[in-house]
Amino acid sequence: AGSAGVITNNTWGSGCAFVKETLNSLEQHTAYYGNQVNQDRALAQTILNFKEALSTLGNDSKAINSSISHLPNAK
C-alpha cells in the first residue's frame, strides 16, 4: 500500500477517477444552488407582484367605499 498523497503507477488512475467524481459532484451542487437562486428570485418577484396587487386592491376598495358613501341611500 502506498502513502496518502503519493502518486505511483498503481494509484494515479484511481486518483483521476476521484477527481472526476469530485468535479461531477461540484457540477451537480452548482446546478442545484443555481436552481435555488432562480427559485428565490421567482419567489421575490411573486412577493413584489402580490404587494403591488394588494396595494391596487386597497386603492380600489377606498375608491369604491368613497363612491358608495355618496349614493343617496348609503347608510
pLDDT in tens, the chain (75 residues): 445 667 677 777 777 888 889 999 999 999 999 899 999 999 999 999 999 999 999 999 999 999 998 888 866
The pTM assigned to this predicted structure is 0.54
Q: What domain range is 48 assigned to?
A: 34-69
Radius of gyration of the chain (CA): 31
Q: Residue 51 domain-assigned?
A: yes
Q: Residue 47 domain-assigned?
A: yes
Q: Residue 19 domain-assigned?
A: no
The CA–CA distances, whole Å, from 69 to 38, 39, 57, 73 equal 46, 44, 18, 9
- Split into its structural domains, the chain has a count of 1
Q: Residue 62 domain-assigned?
A: yes
Q: Residue 41 domain-assigned?
A: yes
Q: Residue 65 domain-assigned?
A: yes
Q: Residue 26 domain-assigned?
A: no
